[in-house]
Amino acid sequence: MNRASLLMEYFQVLGRALGPSHWWPAKSSFEVCLGAVLTQNTNWSNASTAIEALRERELLSPERLDALPEAELATLIRPAGYFRVKAARIKALLTFLRLEAEFDLTRLAQQPVEELRSKLLTVKGIGQETADSILLYAFKFPVFVVDTYTARIMHRHAFVPEDVGYTELQELFTANLPRDPDLFNEYHALLVRVGKNWCKKSSPLCSGCPLQAYVP
DNA sequence: CACCAGGCAAGTA
DNA sequence: TACTTGCATGGT
């Protein structure tokens, strides 16, 4: 079986077993951008608590957050962990959004995806995964997001070496799947759900995983 | 108690 | 370039 067929089969098996993921859980593109930073190396539950703290204070707009002092932002997002680092990163992102598009995210997304990706990567605190999460989940560009779960799962299934780089791992999917943002959206979500439930870092518990039959 | 979570940048050699 | 370290809360 070739990679393209196998990757599509994985998607279908996971979809049938787990059902729709409804990603990204956010009410606006801007919320996706915030969540993308807040969830860096952090479980979504903690990131979500931080988002809700901002929501309670009606701070979930770029203008309101931009006006908020960084120290106050840091206090509010404390539950997300790395809160000082993340406050600085969110501030850097806000400055970028203001200078690049006057906080108009719709306008920001008018440019070619490669151009926007390059610009996002210049923002301190926005790496490849965060940039791609924003491109796919906030703006619906057909960009496949990969993460540590993706690497672990695909390595365990012998698709890639353990130390596979971000770009190489991403190309495994983009070179073998149709460039469909809805497909990429759901596929990444399903892989994260598999990772969380059955493909943990230590004590690999494949039992019960929908993809167990495919593990070599 | 230890380990982990939807990373990233800065420092070192 | 290749490797190491700091960042930090909350759940299991």
Q: How far apart are CA A138 and CA A156, in angstroms?
A: 30
For the CA of A78 and the C1' of C8, the distance in angstroms is 9
Residues 41-80 of A, Cβ under 7 A from nucleic strand C: 41-43, 45-46, 49, 78-80
> What are the structural domain ranges in chain A?
3-22+144-214, 29-138
Q: How far apart are CA A33 and CA A37, in angstroms?
A: 7
Q: What is the pLDDT of residues A138-176, one digit of tens each?
A: 999 999 999 999 999 999 999 999 999 999 999 999 999
pTM: 0.97
Average model confidence (pLDDT) for chain A? 96
CATH number of the structural domain A3-22+144-214: 1.10.1670
- Provide the pLDDT for residue A203: 64
Establish whether the CB of A198 is closer than 7 Å to any nucleic acid atom in strand C: no
Q: Please name the fold of domain A29-138.
A: Endonuclease III; domain 1 (1.10.340)
Identify the residue whose Cα has the smallest distance to the C1' of C7: A82
For the CA of A86 and the C1' of C7, the distance in angstroms is 9
Q: How far apart are CA A148 and CA A133, in angstroms?
A: 14
Protein CB footprint (7 Å) on chain C nucleotides: 6-11
The nucleotide minimizing the C1' distance to residue A78's CA is C9
- Provide the pLDDT for residue A205: 73
- For A83, residues 6+ apart whose C-beta sits below 8 A from its C-beta are A50, A74, A75, A77
Indicate whether A200 pLDDT > 90: no
